[in-house]
Amino acid sequence: MNWNPLGHGVRIAAVVFSASALVACGDAQDELQGWMDQQRREVKPNVTPLSPPKKFDPQPYLVATSVEPFSNQKLSVALKQEARQVNSLLAGEVNRRKEPLEAYPVDSMVMVGSVTKQGRQHALLQVNKLLYQVKVGEYIGQNYGKIQSITETEVTYREVVQDAAGEWIERISSLQLQEKAR
């Protein structure tokens, strides 16, 4: 084996450096531990105490004395109220014979023209590629729409519909003359 004094010196230097690094780490660790102990002594935690629980007052469950929301009694009362309201607006409408244009919704109808016959204005309405001639007083649409007036460019009608609250109301609407694009 060859003995190299330079290689031996490098090994000794590495061992000395490692030992001094461990001593330095020990000093740093002692310093860190001292700082943490000091911080623990100086810092006082500020925790607000929990509030006491509120007093619970139990309420009796009174199902036997209330009306069940889905009972037949409640449903029949609602149906009677709706029937009274419908009867006031649609008294004559329900029992009469339906006219052909009441089978179609109004939004499927298109006014394509108007004519005057014997001094009375008539509108020409197209539904499903069929042409219908209507006059004031006739019915259109599925909401009991009754024609109120006819001009050369417009058919005005009154219909009975339910509003957002479920109430039956009268609403005035109109169909405008639709000209075909060339």
Give per-residue pLDDT as tens, 86-109: 656 666 777 788 899 999 999 999
The least confident of 72-81, 132-141, 151-160 is 72-81
Position 2 scores a pLDDT of 55
- Give the per-residue pLDDT at 101: 92
pTM for this entry: 0.52
Q: What is the pLDDT at residue 140?
A: 94
% of residues, the chain, pLDDT over 70:
76
Residue 150 parent element (H or E): strand 145-150
The residue ranking higher by pLDDT, 175 or 75, is 175
3-state secondary structure of 152: coil
Q: Judge: domain 72-176, CATH 3.40.710.10.
A: no
Task: Identify the band that residue 182 occupies on the pLDDT scale cut at 50, 70 and 90.
Answer: very low
The predicted-structure confidence for 106-133, as pLDDT tens digits, reads as follows 999 999 999 998 889 999 999 998 999 9
SS3 65: coil
Annotated domain spans of the chain: 72-176
Give tens-digit pLDDT for 140-179.
999 889 999 999 999 999 998 888 877 778 899 999 988 7
Task: Return d(Cα 84, Cα 168) in angstroms, integer.
Answer: 10
d(CA 69, CA 129) in angstroms, rounded, equals 48
User: What value does the mean pLDDT take over residues 62-75?
Assistant: 76
User: What letters, b where the CB count within 10 A reaches 16 and e where it falls short, cover 14-25?
Assistant: eeeeeeeeeeee
Residue 18 reports pLDDT greater than 60: yes
- How confident is the model at residue 97, as a pLDDT? 87
